[in-house]
Structure 1
Amino acid sequence: MTMTWSPVTRRDAFLTRGTNPNTGRGLEIGALNNPIIPSGIGSIKYVDYTDTEGLRRQHAALPDRVAGIVNVDYVWRGSGSLAEVVGEVDAFDFVIASHVIEHVPNTLGWFRGICSVMKPGGVFNLAVPDKRYTFDLKCPLSTLAQLIEADMLNYQIPSVRQMFEHTFNIAKIEPGAIWLDNLNVDSLEKYNSDYAIYLAHDQASKIISEGTYIDSHCWFYTPSSFLELMEGAVLLERFDFLLTHIEPTLEGDFEFFVSLEKPQRVETREKLKMQQFGLIQDAKRLVAERQRRFSLAALM
């Protein structure tokens, strides 16, 4: 009997927007033990930064998590050619990445690698943490300069700066808890306690001396800041997708959703840029309108 899948939650629906997991070829990146598309549905394959046994060792202290870890089909750290790892180009109808983008040292290189293995017209759906409502709330917003530096230098592992900002600044708060009444943000403790500065320094030394991969949130976004960065990448011709939809963070939530599409065909780079730029302006207007409505509701 063939297994079929349909979205159960609003989140499932956003992460499968424009796709048919039951019939299409798909990649899910960083599924760990909680895939959006379960194994056995359609032709889903899983990508992670290390193999299945490596993930099991990393999470050995959490046996319930280990028991559910999916079998990793392709190992890719987000840099270099994904097509070489997969063994083909223009192969997949859709890609899903939930809370992965913030961990990737070189975002623009990651996007290019994923785009190369997608069919023209293929859809890439992402869930992205909104730094304002997670333990990243005290981390500085990522900048275009940082995005371009990571791409030009082809970061393979989180840099000293990326790791240090994450390790030192993250706060001790559950995702979404910022919405609770009477929460004093200024009084939040550091996630890594008073030892944060020393832990960050020690890990920086390991990155420099040993090339150690220290898993970190390398990037900190809001819906608006994400759009600004993608606009800059478009202008510099370092982003190949069309941004077809953004679903801003809802009240009480801590993530937003982005849908990207690989262009069906590219006549000229200038025409692509004009199309990309127009879609990003539409997305900016949507985010601004949602924010306006939210601000009005807060006054009632």
Structure 2
Amino acid sequence: MEAFEFKAADGFALQGRVYGNPATCRSAVLIAPAMGVPQRFYADFAEWLAGEGHAVVTFDYRGMGESRPAQMRHSLRGLEATIDTWAQQDASAALAWLDAQVAKEVPIHWLGHSLGGQIFGMVPNRERAASVVTIGVGTGYWLRNAAKARAYVWWLWFVAAPLAMKLYGYFPGKRLKKVGDLPLGVMQQWRRACLNRDYIIGVGGEKMRSDYAAVRTPILSLSFTDDEYMSARNTADMHAFYASAPREMRRIAPQDIGAKRIGHFGFFRERFADSLWPQVSRWLTLATAR
């Protein structure tokens, strides 16, 4: 693993890591993180995927993980960022860096966890990706969240988030032990999206809807029956926005692979290196051969 710094188009300095050997890789993979999840969470999976012959890049959105400015270690008040910023500036810059520095002659694949799969249609240079893998991706529309999550998200969207943002000028998720610290604009936009039947696309308007519908990149979706946030309806609704893209939808129950639990975050745990991870590697091999 090698750490590197790159810059978004607006000059914001971001931090990433590259795994594997770009000189010998057969393809390159960009891992786009979930909301509030630092890139280090994906390290075990990235190392494994690199061992399968892929160069893998992880990164942190601005304000998250290693891309959190030093002067904002204790508060994100004043950091201007929205989900649009993360997609159109940060993720786009990570994809451009991967294209220029690693994958000059090999295919690039986008692997998005939760938010990282939701935003693919918002990324301006998304056409560089030869395929997409989504892990635990659905809309965040709260009335279609998994049943067990609805009381929690009601409390989050109608009580905790509005009060915390008003008091602190950002969302202090670490203090509340919910999601993680998020910039004010990100949390405001995410809240609006989760209260909208059409999620981020409903908030973004007709241009965003047409951008998603125009995506033709093949998509593999892996979702899980015990995901504590995403219901089967969430997952189906989100991928329906990619109306022109070939989609292979796999919904996996823990018992299908001899596990007790997978959940929203479990896929990236090393214990699934022999069961779930090879599904991605096989998809990438087939997508690279196209």
Coarse TM-score class (shorter-chain normalised):
0.3 to 0.5
More helix by share: 2
Question: Which of the two has higher C-alpha Rg?
Answer: 1
TM-score (norm 1): 0.38
TM-score (norm 2): 0.39
